[in-house]
Amino acid sequence: MQTNFTAAQLADPDTQVSETILRKCVHCGFCTATCPTYVLLGDELDSPRGRIYLIKEMLEQDRPATARDALHIDRCLSCLSCMTTCPSGVHYMHLVDHGRAHVEKTYRRPFLDRALRALLAAVLPSPLLFRLSLVGATLARPFAGLMPRRLAAMLRLAPAALPNPSAMDRPQVFPAQGPTRLRVALLTGCAQQVIAPEINEATIRLLTRLGCEVAVAPGAGCCGALVHHLGRTDQSHVAAAANIRAWTALWNGRGPERVVINASGCGTMVKDYGHQLRDDPALAEGAARIAAATRDISEVLSELGLGAVKAPAPLTVAYHSACSLQHGQKITAEPKALLAAAGFTVKDIPEGHLCCGSAGTYNLLQPEIAMALRDRKVANIARTNPDVIAAGNVGCITQIASGIGVPVVHTVELLDWATGGPRPKALGG
């Protein structure tokens, strides 16, 4: 794609990166075939190619975003399926991130939209505020039908009951069982530790059983992805900086050998810290080091091996490959291989490349599209006739579980069970 940026515009590091990305696009349109919003809506501007044109126009003309720009960029799920499909290597993730930041800085949204996005940016990264908001949502849930559509969507996704906070999410170090093979830091997440603390508990049990010393670092918190995808890059960089400092300080400043992530959206974000903070002289080196040490839990388990497996119930598992795992991190085989090694019968889901509609805050901000994608995903899952559904991202688990009666669990819960841990709660554990 030909570009016409001025030398002054290219002096901005983000614009320079975006210009390089734009030049790789050859307008081939392969991305449209795998873009969930284009598949649903059939609008060119709701395809990656269409959004690329919108972002190019905004940046090249150095103009504020319009309502039209915001509409179509907001509808992007950041599922990154287009990056898997693209034959030219267009790094759409960094481009749409830049586009979102430009919209956030230059477009004044309607009041209710601004208020909702500000609320999400304040509440979701804070486990305390998120827990309090869910208590309120539980009380208001019977009145969801009387609420505006976005607020109603939030209420319907709220769990009927909240689990108690887990003591394992507090800052501490869990010793390895037997000789120490790895020293790892675990990102406990923000929303996950409120709605599904059993995921972190299973992760810690499994890692320590396999010889890992696991640290929950004081000062570490939200990875920053939720606000980053709202275009609030300054806020996301503050979160990233806090995590980098917290993890680097572990083990008397030696830092962890691995940073383990069990929420794939967070993993995609943390693995990108090196790029996001590349121009910060105080953090660039640490950010690159942390990004290079970051692994999804399935990568670490593949590295270590599962060890002794106790034969679980003969269950058929439909494996849902979260977009941030298969497209964002290019991890596809490891989770399925681990489940098979643990004794489960693993089935792929038809149209597995398409998003379930969760996508961070997407199912709250774009509920109609999100629910259409959820229903499509659920229908495809039903075709596999599974006993249980496994996924590597709590957002996907919540989204899919809201539309199907089959239990939905994190992959690590099944692996923990198969190697000596308790039966997953969703299966009656």
pLDDT of the residue at 301: 98
Neighbour order of strands in the sheet with 172-174: 172-174, 212-216, 182-186, 258-261, 294-296
Fold of the CATH domain 7-106 = Fumarate Reductase Iron-sulfur Protein; Chain B, domain 2 (1.10.1060)
Mean pLDDT confidence for 85-106: 96
Mean pLDDT in the chain? 94
With 0.75 as the threshold, say if the pTM is over it. Answer: yes
Mean pLDDT within 81-88? 96
Residue 428 has what pLDDT? Answer: 87
CB 367 within 8 A of CB 154: no
DSSP 248-281: HTTTTTT--SEEEESSHHHHHHHTTHHHHTTT-T
The reported pLDDT for the residue numbered 39 is 96
Rounded Cα gap, residues 16 and 44, in angstroms:
26
pLDDT score, position 76: 97
99's tokens:
């586009």
Q: Cβ of 219: how many Cβ atoms within 10 Å?
A: 11
Neighbouring residues of 67: CB distance < 8 A, sequence distance ≥ 6: 107
Given a contact cutoff of 8 angstroms between Cβ atoms, the answer to whether 317 and 388 are in contact is yes
d(CA 25, CA 56): 11
What are the sequence ranges of the domains in the chain? Answer: 7-106, 111-157, 167-301, 310-427
Percent of the chain whose pLDDT exceeds 70: 98
Architecture per CATH, 310-427: 3-Layer(aba) Sandwich (3.40)
Tens of pLDDT, residues 186-240: 999 999 999 999 999 999 999 999 999 999 999 999 999 999 999 999 999 999 9
Listed in sequence order, the residues at least 6 apart from 239 whose beta carbon sits closer than 8 Å to its beta carbon are 125, 221, 222, 223, 224, 227
Q: Is the pLDDT of residue 146 over 70?
A: no
- Per-residue pLDDT tens for 149-187? 777 777 777 777 789 999 999 999 999 999 999 999 999
**Joined tokens for residue 235:** 């806020």
Of 429, 427, 374, 373, which is closest to residue 398 (Cα–Cα)? 374
State the average pLDDT over residues 261-276.
Answer: 97
pLDDT band at 136 (very low <50, low <70, confident <90, very high): confident
**12/346 Cα distance (integer angstroms):** 48
